[in-house]
């Protein structure tokens, strides 16, 4: 996937980001989130989301483009934007099985009627495919918010020098993550958790949420999307993805996050206050280490792979990777 879409207008060449992390202006990010929510609610088509995204970079109003040829050019240009959607085909992408990695990625990003050079494109176009959000990135688009004329700095997250850092504590992360998918009513609390002054306190965050309820819903949605994308990045693009590879009922991240946090105190990692304020990445690193040790211990005890899979929730393929 090209990181930028290059457009020549007269003597000037413009570059439009084709990756979440390359968006530079919070306004562009927030407006894109607004359109994506409209799409999810059935109020906007995926094509219109892409067109709006392109038009914002030029301050164009798509409703004022009356020339048919110009609009067709805009549509063709917009379909080069591929970073915020993935295309899902029936039966968990059954039709894409057997494709090489490059062809698979193209089919997941580009609508079949726009695929060129792939013989499978015609067959894919006949399937009932749909667009799904590709909400995976490691970036803080809203570094602060103003609430009742007070400045609240948000959590930091950064990728540099081939390493990741974040200011989030384990308790902050766990409590915010538990609110994902719970509806708009909990968004002020999620924002209060993520933008809480140091040191973090659950009780204080709940009190602060009443003030954060005054934030525009669009801004709260943008904060929520940003955090969800960071969570998705952690558990799909880093070493911590191991923690979510098991069945959801067995995953400490999905069902036992708070319990696993407080168990660290019993394991000698500090008192309750200490483990609550533990840096998120330190917490996840410890969980990953304990998970690996647990699987290897079961294997050392001569337990069969099938039984280890039942005990841990991990597929046998993952268990083999851990014990080798």
Structure pTM?
0.90
pLDDT digits (tens, 9 = 90+) for 108-150: 988 898 888 899 999 999 999 998 899 999 999 999 999 999 9
* Long-range pairs of 289-292 with CB within 8 A, sequence gap ≥ 24: 291/242, 291/243, 291/252, 292/242, 292/322
What's the rounded Cα separation, in Å, for the pair 179 and 235? 17
What's the rounded Cα separation, in Å, for the pair 147 and 302? 58
* pLDDT at residue 1 in the model: 65
**pLDDT higher than 80, residue 100:** yes
Average pLDDT over residues 85-89: 92
Nearest to 287, CA basis, from 136, 148, 140, 173: 173
Average pLDDT over residues 300-319: 92
Compute φ and ψ for 294, nearest 5 degrees: -65, -45
* pLDDT at residue 68 in the model: 86
- H or E element that contains 268: none
> Is 242:288 a contact under the CB 8 Å cutoff?
yes
pLDDT: which is higher, 9 or 192:
192
pLDDT digits (tens, 9 = 90+) for 246-299: 776 555 565 577 888 888 888 888 888 888 999 999 999 999 999 999 999 999
pLDDT digits (tens, 9 = 90+) for 208-220: 999 999 999 999 9
* pLDDT at residue 251 in the model: 57
**pLDDT higher than 80, residue 98:** yes
């Amino acid at each position: 996937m090209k990181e930028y879409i290059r457009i020549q207008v007269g003597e000037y060449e413009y570059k439009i980001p084709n990756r979440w992390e390359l968006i530079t202006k919070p306004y562009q990010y927030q407006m894109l989130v607004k359109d994506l929510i409209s799409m999810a609610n059935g109020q906007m088509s995926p094509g219109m989301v892409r067109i709006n995204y392109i038009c914002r970079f030029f301050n164009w109003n798509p409703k004022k483009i009356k020339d048919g040829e110009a609009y067709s050019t805009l549509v063709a240009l917009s379909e080069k934007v591929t970073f915020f959607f993935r295309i899902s085909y029936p039966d968990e992408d059954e039709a894409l099985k057997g494709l090489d990695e490059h062809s698979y990625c193209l089919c997941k990003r580009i609508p079949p009627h726009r695929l060129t050079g792939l013989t499978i494109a015609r067959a894919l176009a006949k399937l009932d495919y749909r667009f799904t959000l590709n909400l995976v990135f490691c970036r803080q688009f809203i570094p602060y918010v103003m609430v009742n004329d007070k400045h609240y700095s948000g959590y930091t997250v950064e990728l540099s020098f081939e390493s990741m850092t974040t200011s989030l504590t384990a308790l902050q992360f766990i409590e915010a993550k538990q609110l994902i998918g719970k509806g708009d009513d909990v968004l002020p609390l999620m924002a209060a958790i993520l933008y809480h002054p140091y040191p973090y306190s659950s009780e204080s965050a709940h009190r602060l949420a009443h003030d954060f309820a005054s934030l525009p819903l669009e801004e709260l949605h943008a904060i929520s999307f940003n955090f969800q994308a960071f969570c998705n990045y952690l558990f799909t693009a880093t070493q911590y993805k191991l923690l979510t590879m098991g069945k959801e009922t067995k995953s400490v991240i999905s069902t036992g996050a708070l319990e696993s946090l407080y168990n660290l105190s019993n394991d000698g990692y500090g008192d309750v206050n200490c483990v609550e304020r533990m840096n998120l990445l330190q917490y996840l690193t410890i969980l990953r280490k304990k998970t690996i040790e647990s699987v290897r211990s079961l294997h050392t005890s001569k337990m069969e792979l099938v039984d280890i899979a039942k005990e841990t929730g991990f597929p046998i393929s993952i268990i083999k990777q851990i014990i080798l």
